[in-house]
Amino acid sequence: MAKKRTYSTGPFRERAILVGVNVRSRGDYWALDDSLAELSELARAAGANPIARFTQSMNKPSPTYIGKGKIEELEHAVKHEKVDTAIFDDELSPNQQKTLEDKLQVKVIDRTALILDVFAQRARSREGRLQIDLAQTEYLLPRLAGQWSHLERLGGGVGTRGPGETQIETDRRLVRRKLQRVKKELKQVRSQRERQRQVRTQGDAKIISLVGYTNAGKSALFNKITSSGVIERNQLFSTLDTTTRQMYLPSGIQATISDTVGFVHKLPPILVAAFRATLEEALEADMLLQVVDVSSPYAAEQAQVVSDQLLDMGIGDTPRILVLNKLDLVASSQDEPLSLDVLSQINITEFSRVVTTSATKGWGMTDLRDAIESEVTRPKAAPVTSVPID
């Protein structure tokens, strides 16, 4: 009897190889292995199957990202392992990307393109799609070369192409036109969001925003605090659209609380710029709840990434409560003391209070509400002389 053949019905997953460099002069506090571990998660989230990693240490950055010898090793691995895509852990310049594609003869993408791809999959609302569209288009513009000749020429029209205009010039003109359209639509969305914010914040209502690393449990915490039904999933960037709800603190003080998009290591600047309307809730906040996944082996690094990016956005001085979430994954009860190793690795002096919670179990919610009320009613002129840990 002939053996029955079976076929996979699952989606095709590109075979990917991950490439990263450790530049000693850069002094990154995030270890290369840890960065590539996160890159692997991002690749899987985008639909790829990471099958191998290539790393190189160097004293200064290379014009081709990795050295000539390492490129030759990578060429061999790409052919031998039948790789579809090479994913690089840093943003590549257009010249670097073109050189590497010519050498490897496979699709080459960088960390920025990968993050944009994951965001594009997660975007659901009109605003979210517009923001991703803006970021992807701005990323594309300096990389327009022969490989982009497939761009559609919608709206070109007779007589819009100048004499002797090359293919690349046409593509650039079309992309710039698209940028103008998307920015115009986003401006309208921002105006609407600003009007909504003004209505919400009339009177003495306090503005609170949840910030944190992606998949730290912000949406689950938001749902528990506000009794809302925001989508919460154990995946990267499950929330791209800011959701705001009213809440009342124990004494009856009214406040609004917003769930914002998560941060990630090496978050592309163009993405921060595109999502500025979403992040404006954090920019306008009276207080931030910085959520950290206490069960993550990279909890300290993730907390530092968020702190650094908040500083870059100009809101590093906004009062913050550190919320160590997912306590149920490292403790059997909410009364079990947290390992001092975790606290010693995080710079808790940046925060006015530290609260441990489990959004899944509902642990620490009373402590968190009390801490929020204590901070929003604290006189602004009063200095913080100690860091109480609840």
Q: Per residue in 174-202, pLDDT tens?
A: 778 887 888 788 777 777 766 665 665 55
* Cα 121 to Cα 153, 211, 217, distances in angstroms: 24, 21, 20
CA distance 158 to 356: 64
Q: Kindly state the average pLDDT of the residues 11-22.
A: 88
Shared-domain flag, residues 22 and 129: no
Backbone angles phi, psi at 114, to 5 degrees: -65, -45
CATH code assigned at 89: 3.40.50.11060
Per-residue confidence (pLDDT) for residue 36, from 0 to 100: 94
CA distance 147 to 369: 54
Domain-embedded: residue 250: yes
Shared-domain flag, residues 358 and 238: yes
Q: How many domains would you assign to the chain?
A: 3
CA-wise closest residue to 112 among 58, 22, 171, 46: 46
Domain-embedded: residue 86: yes
Domain-embedded: residue 388: no
Kindly give the residue spans of alpha helices, DSSP state H, lying in the chain.
Answer: 32-46, 68-80, 94-104, 111-122, 126-140, 167-200, 218-226, 269-274, 276-283, 299-312, 340-345, 365-376
Of residues 335 and 23, more confidently modeled: 23
Shared-domain flag, residues 290 and 229: yes
Per-residue confidence (pLDDT) for residue 242, from 0 to 100: 72
Domain-embedded: residue 2: no
Shared-domain flag, residues 260 and 299: yes
CATH code assigned at 262: 3.40.50.300
CA 146, distance to chain mean position in Å, is 30
CA distance 342 to 330: 11
210 within 8 A of 218, measured Cβ to Cβ: yes
Shared-domain flag, residues 243 and 362: yes
Domain-embedded: residue 386: no
Domain-embedded: residue 20: yes
The boundaries of the domain holding residue 96 are 14-117
Tokens of 307: 């702190």
pLDDT exceeds cutoff 80 at 97 = yes
Per-residue confidence (pLDDT) for residue 198, from 0 to 100: 64
CA distance 238 to 249: 27
Q: What percent of the chain has pLDDT over 70?
A: 78
Shared-domain flag, residues 262 and 295: yes
CA-wise closest residue to 139 among 170, 87, 179: 179
Residues β-bridged to residue 243: 259
Element of type H or E holding 211: strand 206-212
Q: Which of 94, 117, 140 is the last residue of a domain?
A: 117
When pLDDT is cut at 50, 70 and 90, the band that residue 383 belongs to is very low
333 within 8 A of 283, measured Cβ to Cβ: no
Domain-embedded: residue 56: yes
Domain-embedded: residue 179: yes
Shared-domain flag, residues 224 and 283: yes
CA 357, distance to chain mean position in Å, is 22
Shared-domain flag, residues 208 and 323: yes
When pLDDT is cut at 50, 70 and 90, the band that residue 160 belongs to is very low
CA-wise closest residue to 309 among 260, 254, 256: 260
